[in-house]
Amino acid sequence: IVNVTAAMEGLKNQLNFTSGSAQKGAQDFEYLKDISDQMGLDFNTAATAFAKFSGAARGTALEGQKVKDIFESVGMASTVMHLSAEQSEGAFRALEQMLSKGKVSAEELRGQLGERIPGAFQIAARAMNMTTMELDKFMSDGKLMSEEFLPRFAAQLKTEFAGGMDAAGQSLQANLNRMNNSFLELKYTVGELFMPVIQGTINLLTNAVGFIKDNIAAISGLAAAFFTLASAVFLYNTYMK
């Protein structure tokens, strides 16, 4: 419960920063809860990926609603392809790296993204109205810019995967993710409720450790004296009586 509460606090701080305010950050947090439940995504993985991707998009043409559009398209593909939380995280990380670099490279598109979403390169070619050979040459020349490519790729993902969402959204993996999300939310709710007690306990333990560290010499002396006295009493009772 303590670890989950600390992680959720950190996530909220990230969302506050990437969105520009605590109010917008809270709205993004609720949005992520809703979209994770709707698509059957693992909340922790999806929300962390969204925060990083949103941070990478700050100051670019993709900041704001376009980030959500891209995020939802990859989330949809993750659900339809029954990707695990780890695989979904890898797909989102590839997008984050594309945006951070400003250009799309074969490492992210063919490698990281293609390994998680089968046919990603062919989908990308269709998104750019190119053949795979044309896209490969365009990308190799360093002309495939992230800000142009990602919205078009997201739209193509939605076009190709939308038809499979109804069935995939009720799959075992999606329902397992929803169950795990419910447990996560329960832990966080309990953590928030008992936050004063948790903080008090942490402060008490911190102070206790500090006291021991500052008085280790005196404590060691008392321990040695007690051990010596106990040994003397034992020897007397054993051999002198």
Beta bridge partners of 103: 145
Work out the pLDDT band at 186, boundaries 50, 70, 90: very high
Residue type, 2: V
pLDDT tier at 198, thresholds 50, 70, 90: confident
Contact 72, 35 (CB under 8 A): yes
Written as six digits, the tokens of 24 are 């917008």
pLDDT at 162: 83
Instruction: Say whether pLDDT at 131 is over 90.
Output: yes
What average pLDDT score do residues 115-130 get? 90
pLDDT of 59 higher than 60: yes
Q: What is the pLDDT of residue 142?
A: 87
Confidence class for position 192, pLDDT limits 50, 70, 90: confident
Contact 77, 91 (CB under 8 A): yes
For residue 92, is pLDDT > 90? no
Residue 199 is predicted with a pLDDT of: 73
Helix, strand, coil percentages, rounded to 5, for the chain: 85, 0, 15
218 membership: H or E segment, kind and range: helix 216-235
Measuring CA to CA, which residue among 196, 199, 201, 223 is closest to residue 212?
223
Q: How many other CB atoms are found less than 10 A from the CB of residue 31? A: 16
* pLDDT value of position 155: 92
Token digits for 125? 């070619």
Tell me the pTM: 0.74
pLDDT at 231: 66
For residue 109, count other CB atoms closer than 10 A to its CB: 23
pLDDT digits (tens, 9 = 90+) for 204-234: 777 777 767 777 777 677 666 666 766 656 6
Q: Name the residue type at position 201.
A: T
Q: In this structure, what are the phi and psi dihedrals at residue 38, rounded to the nearest 5 degrees?
A: -65, -45
- Could you tell me which residue, 192 or 217, shows the higher pLDDT? 192
Number of other residues whose CB lies within 10 A of the CB of residue 211:
11
